[in-house]
Every structure is written in C-alpha cells, then in structure tokens.
Amino acid sequence: METVTASSPESTKTSPARNTHGLHVITWGCQMNVYDSARMADVLRPLGYGPAETAEEADMIILNTCHIRERATEKVFSELGRLRKIRDERIEQGHPRTIIAVAGCVAQAEGKEILARAPYVDLVLGPQTYHKLPEMVARAARAGGAVIETDFPTDEKFDALPTEAAPQTAGNLTAFLTVQEGCDKFCSFCVVPYTRGAETSRPVLSILAEAERMVASGVKEITLLGQNVNAYHGDDGSGKSANLAYLAEVLSQIPGLARIRYMTSHPRDMDQSLIDAHHTNSALMPFLHLPVQSGSDNVLKAMNRGHTADEYRNIVRRLRDVRPDLALSSDFIVGHPGETEEDFEATMQLVRDIGFASAYSFKYSPRPGTPAAGQPLQVAEDVKDRRLAQLQALLREQQDAFNEQLVGTTQEVLITGKGRKPGQLSGRSPYLQPVHFDGPEELIGSIVKVAITTRRTNSLGGVIVQETAAAC
C-alpha cells in the first residue's frame, strides 16, 4: 500500500501557520505514513510546533520513510545529506540548530545504520513510537546526542495521541484514518511485518470518536487504513470482536459522513460479511484495492499469499454479484524468485480475466532479511524489465478502457477544490479519479452529479447536471 498514489513514494508537506517553532514533515511511502505524519504534527503542537512550508524555514524536520523497495530506502541518505546542508546554512544565518528526525519504516529497520552513517541525525523513531516524540525531543535537547526509539509497544500509540481535532485537518474534505496496523502474514518478499510489527486493531469506539472529530472539522470521505485492513478485529465496546463490515456500518451512521473507503485489503480476509457490506452499506464506495501480486498458483505459493488465482477470481465474482458497478485496483510484482515465463503469462491471463480500473505494478526488489531475498532462482533484471513493461501496457489499456466506458454516464463527484483553470472545480469520482468541470466555488464540499464527457488516462471531465446528489 505504498503510494503512487498507493505506490511510488509521494511527498506531503504541512501547510503554513504562525507558531513558535516551525515543523516540516516530509512523507514518503504509503497512506499510513501520511496519517502518521499528521499525528506526529498533532503530538508536537502542544510544544509550540506548527507547520513550516519548507525545510529552510523549519526548526524541526521529520523525514517519514518507506522501506518497501530498495529504491525507496536508497533515497533516505541522499535526502539526509540535503537536510544537513540546509541545517548548516541556517546555523550560519544565526538560527538555532534544526532538529532532524528520521521516522517510518527505514527508521525501524535500519535505525542503528542511520545513526552510524548519518550521525548528525538527532532522533530515530519507529512507527509505533510517535507518541513519545515530545519526550524524545526533550531528551535530545538535554543530552545533546542522538535518541533512538524502535520498540513495538502495542496499543500505546493510539491511546496516547491527542484527541482534539487537529487544526490542519480543518478544510480537508477527505482524510485517512488508521484502524489496523501491522501484519502477521509474512509474505516472502515483504518487510512490513518486520517494520510495522504484529497485527493490532484499534477499538471501535476510539475509531468512532476520531471519525466524528474528522467529520466535525468538515471531512466528507474517510479512508480506513491498515496494512491488512480487512483483517480488522477491534473491540466492539462490549468486549466482543468486531469485523470491518461492522466498523464500516457504525461509521456510516455518522451524520455528514458521505463516503467510506478502506485499504489495503488482503484476499484471504475478504469474508462474506464484507462482501455483503458492499450491497447493504451505501456509504462504501464501489472501488476496491485488492492486491493479488501474481496470477500463478506456483508464485502465489512461493510468496506465501495463502490463496490461489482462482480463489481471487471467485472473490471478485462474489463482489460483482452484490455490487455490479464495483471496480478493482490491485498490486502486482513481476520477477519474484522462481517466476517462469509460464507463471508470468498466468498473471497476464488473470489481468485479462478480471479487468482492472487501475493498478500498481513493481519489479521484485530483494529486501534484506526476507525469505525471498535469500532464494536461488532470482530473475534477471532485463527479464523483470520486459515483464513489467508488458504488464503495464496491458494495465494501462484496461485503465483507458475503464475511463472510456464512463464517458456518457453520470457520476457522483465529491468536489474537493478549485480546478487549475478559472471557474473550474475539481473533485473525485467514486472510483477515485480526479474529475474537472465548471461550477461555482460555493459547491466545494458537496457531492454533485456530473455527466462525464471526456477522459484522459488519469482524469475525467464533465458538466454538472445536478447540484445535490447526496445529503452531506
């Protein structure tokens, strides 16, 4: 679930405001890192830290990192070098020493190496320790040396986060909300179980309270996050375990919350109650990110995914039975150790059979400490390149076809802001495509019906046909 959106690292920066200390957060990786960055800003706010638009203006810089593929990790040290230079320049200009913190999955996996290779870093903190940031900042100031926190204290993180609505959330119409974190599935290729720890689910009531705060600040669409979000099994408030379908039902009762999404789901946890929820819960959007990784049973087995290609086809069939307009996106890895030409062709066949609205695809990247990295039969780089190009060409064709068949239909669009051109508005369709059309600014924040007239690879264009599509 790393981003491009979901998957090539994305940078998000906090927006400016007046505060005693400037905080600049650089976020790479998945949506959970985006959520975590906002929460780190929340815990630092009582200390007087507010958003600084650039690293040059910041008293503290947090680099929130991703370890999922080699390339994501490589970038960390070059970025740290750049931040160090900025700090030196600020010191020359007479500013106090900028605090540099490394957070996220690289901090968790390579904390000690970071301190060895970049000793000028002040704080290294793993994803389960963000609530300790204020204490770490104080410790670093007192001791004058680097402070490292990479424990996995279960459940503490969410309990310790501030409960008031975060000011920077105000004005946002869409938000991420982490409901489940960590992973016990240990896919052969993946670092997440090592960087995020064991699977834990937050209690329903704590999530409900956070969602209500978000909606009170104007949020209309919430994406529930988890590394395996559909493995969610939080306390329902009476000591019993609630599943994701139940959680989504509870949240859908919040007045003003128009749309609910969830990601990333694992096919193994796509149970019947969640499938049925796509029929019964009208707040659930008809768009599901359901990574399959490969269409070959041999590779799926080697990956330890715990399901076959036909089981995946069957899940999709059941979903489409209850929600015929449901569209899918997925993640794919080409060149997992042992993947033959025949295995790759099985992936191409699965893509042809399902038809995806969008997808993220990657060359297998060996990650230190994971079982697949040590396997013989690694696939040659040029073979991976060719397979990736072939797969991406097919996926792009399907994305174009999906967008094309929306031309001539009417879609409900949540208007999220102004478009690039004067008089233009921009929003998102149920399928997460950006949609552009003309309309008055007062409509920002509402859901309107838009007749789709044009399409590009990544966006749609249209005209408003009805201004109030949903009460929100």
Q: Which is nearer to ligand SF4, 110 or 221 (CB)?
A: 110
Q: Which is nearer to ligand SAH, 1 or 60 (CB)?
A: 1
CA distance 124 to 104: 9
Q: 3-state DSSP call for residue 394? A: helix
CA distance 296 to 208: 40
CA distance 272 to 444: 36
Tokens of 464: 């408003």
Q: Which is nearer to ligand SF4, 99 or 190 (CB)?
A: 190
Beta carbons of 332 and 290 less than 8 angstroms apart: no
CA dihedral 263, 193, 294, 377 (to 10 degrees): 160
Give the residues across from 436 on adjacent strands: 426, 461
Question: Burial code of 47-69, b = ≥16 C-beta within 10 A, e = fewer?
Answer: eebbbbeebbbbbbbbbbbbbbb
Is residue 322 classed exposed, middle or buried when 0-12, 13-18 and 19+ CB atoms within 10 A define those classes?
Answer: middle
Binding of ligand F3S by 196 (CB under 6 A): yes
What does 107 interact with, of ligand SF4, ligand SAH, ligand F3S, none (CB < 5 to 8 A by kind)?
A: none
Tokens of 328: 């899918």
Give the DSSP H or E segment for 83.
Answer: helix 70-92
Q: Where are the alpha helices (DSSP H) in 374-456?
A: 381-406
What does 33 interact with, of ligand SF4, ligand F3S, ligand SAH, none (CB < 5 to 8 A by kind)?
A: ligand F3S
Binding of ligand SF4 by 318 (CB under 6 A): no
Binding of ligand F3S by 66 (CB under 6 A): yes
Binding to ligand F3S in span 102-121, by CB under 6 A: 104-105
**In degrees, to the nearest 5, what angle opens at C-alpha 285 toward C-alphas 280 and 288?**
105
CA distance 53 to 63: 14
Chain residues that interact with ligand SAH, rule: CB under 6 A: 1-2, 68-69, 189-190, 192, 227-228, 264, 266, 291, 293, 331, 333, 362, 364-365, 367
Known binding residue 472? Answer is: no
Binding of ligand F3S by 32 (CB under 6 A): yes
The residue written with tokens 């981003």 in the block is: 3
What does 365 interact with, of ligand F3S, ligand SAH, ligand SF4, none (CB < 5 to 8 A by kind)?
A: ligand SAH
Binding to ligand SF4 in span 178-237, by CB under 6 A: 183, 185-187, 190, 192-193, 227-228
The whole-angstrom distance between residue 229's C-alpha and the CA centroid of its chain comes to 11
The least CB distance from residue 6 to ligand SAH, in Å, is 7
Query: Pattern 256-285, binding to ligand SF4, x per CB under 6 A?
Result: ----------x-------------------
Binding of ligand F3S by 33 (CB under 6 A): yes
Beta carbons of 363 and 385 less than 8 angstroms apart: yes
Binding of ligand F3S by 197 (CB under 6 A): no
Query: Pattern 151-170, binding to ligand SF4, x per CB under 6 A?
Result: --------------------
Name the packing angle between helices 70-92 and 104-117 (round to 10°).
Answer: 60
What does 364 interact with, of ligand SF4, ligand SAH, ligand F3S, none (CB < 5 to 8 A by kind)?
A: ligand SAH
Binding residues for [4Fe-4S] cluster: 30, 66, 105, 183, 187, 190
Which positions touch ligand F3S (CB under 6 A)? 1-2, 29-30, 32-33, 66-68, 104-105, 191-192, 195-196
Which positions touch ligand SF4 (CB under 6 A)? 183, 185-187, 190, 192-193, 227-228, 266
